[in-house]
Structure 1
């Protein structure tokens, strides 16, 4: 019930700034979803995406529709795509956790170093657009601060402006790095979702090689290498192996 309420509330508030036709299609898909015509909603959402329009709410709504018809791998894929564009969104994170609870594989994640956890937590404070806007704003304010420093004749004012300028410079540097990183991550297609119900992972890119372990649909993996029709993947606990291409979809 909690999940359903969250979905309905978000659907009621999700509107994209699009041209007339995509906006009309988006609203039509939302109405189809709320009326229980989930496959119809999926068809419309997918058509919007095929036209080159992508937004986190669109992926999220599509994920919700797939979840309703029990297509868990597709739901997870679209929740992950939504989070790629808006990493700090708690609604996306919650529904992704719910969907992940329905898959077969429960993988223990390798512990991260404290500074990596801190950096990831910092990134989640703002959306990618928010970090880009902060970088642009602080960059502009740096020039205003320089002008104020040069024009000021009072020593105490110059010291204050100088300190403020250093703070702006540090903020601009951090926000610029995060904006670049989130943009790069949004374009990166190294992570993917398994779409084969049961998938043996091989020790080498060869059909005759031994099976290292077995994974199942819905699991998130990282592609670390490619050789011909084979892809080397890594799962969250660090285990690696080879699978044939065409069994995963990139996030």
Structure 2
């Protein structure tokens, strides 16, 4: 076992050093305005199995400087997946998205559905999970205080707050699982073709519904042979050639 661990260290440590050296050289190339070289070296780090929000972010910036729209959007999206709270990544993604030809407006939801969606989106999956755990802890403490309390007045207070903590914990748990389910069931991709037709059927005989251009983000609903069924943020759906996109 020790020999195996030693061999793994011999393999991994030099690789990490090599990736760090490549990353620094890529940064140097970027700072010197040599964006093609920066892209090449950042990509080489990715091929070596290294992934990070910073790496994708820098690669997105290099592509942006070269006016490679799809590549820029794609890498900023990848960076955001690894670090969803980073405001700089969000800002640069917005800049890159402004270069996309397709200006697709989000259709806002209304009524109760919109209220629930906004309420759930206040926190991330981890945020709701921590609230649920905190609720259980508070309930446990208050239940002990209720059990050992002598005064009936304090018993009522501890009992009421403890029940409230349980309810909050239960609701938070539901929200956490809902967010997890939504995230796992949704698959997105970026259009890499300069222009591609979206049809009503998964074949070339289908009627053309609309055109999409490089850099547009789509949600993948289904796949059939060399075709994917997609949905846009405005609710439009259709089929397009699978080779025209790159999955996130």
Give the whole-Å Cα distance in 2 for the aligned partners of 1:79 and 1:138.
Answer: 36
Which is higher, the Rg of structure 1 or of structure 2? Answer: 2
CA displacement, residues 193-239 of structure 1 (integer Å, 9 cap, x when unaligned): 11111001112111122212111111111222222221111222222
Q: How does 1:45-84 map to 2 (within 5 A)?
A: 45-46=42-43, 49=46, 54-84=51-81
Partner of 1:137: 134
1:244 aligns with 2:241: yes
Q: CA deviation at 1:128?
A: 3.9
- Residues 84 and 185 in structure 1, CA contact (< 8 A), matched pair in contact too: no
Q: Given the superposition, is the C-alpha separation of residues 137 and 212 from structure 1 closer, same or farther in structure 2, using an over 3 Å criterion? A: same
Partner of 1:101: 98
Q: Given the superposition, is the C-alpha separation of residues 58 and 182 from structure 1 closer, same or farther in structure 2, using an over 3 Å criterion? A: farther
Q: How does 1:210-249 map to 2 (within 5 A)?
A: 210-249=207-246
Q: Given the superposition, is the C-alpha separation of residues 79 and 173 from structure 1 closer, same or farther in structure 2, using an over 3 Å criterion? A: farther
- Residues 198 and 238 in structure 2, CA contact (< 8 A), matched pair in contact too: yes
Deviates more, 1:170-179 or 1:25-34: 25-34
1:198 aligns with 2:195: yes
Partner SS, residue 76 of structure 1 = helix
What RMSD in Å do the two structures reach over aligned CA positions? 3.2
Q: Give the TM-score normalised by the residue count of structure 1.
A: 0.74
Q: Given the superposition, is the C-alpha separation of residues 131 and 86 from structure 1 closer, same or farther in structure 2, using an over 3 Å criterion? A: farther
Partner SS, residue 103 of structure 1 = coil
CA displacement, residues 68-95 of structure 1 (integer Å, 9 cap, x when unaligned): 2222212222333344455454433322
Partner of 1:14: none
- Residues 199 and 207 in structure 2, CA contact (< 8 A), matched pair in contact too: yes
Partner of 2:204: 207
Q: Give the TM-score normalised by the residue count of structure 2.
A: 0.75
1:153 aligns with 2:150: yes
Q: Number of residues paired by the alignment?
A: 233
Give the whole-Å Cα distance in 1 for the aligned partners of 2:48 and 2:143.
Answer: 45
Q: CA deviation at 1:34?
A: 4.1
Deviates more, 1:168-177 or 1:237-246: 168-177
Q: CA deviation at 1:42?
A: 4.1
| Displaced runs of 4 or more, over 6 A | none
Q: Given the superposition, is the C-alpha separation of residues 105 and 137 from structure 1 closer, same or farther in structure 2, using an over 3 Å criterion? A: same
CA displacement, residues 142-194 of structure 1 (integer Å, 9 cap, x when unaligned): 32332222222222322222233233223323432343344445444522111
Give the whole-Å Cα distance in 1 for the aligned partners of 2:103 and 2:237.
Answer: 16
Give the whole-Å Cα distance in 2 for the aligned partners of 1:130 and 1:35.
Answer: 41
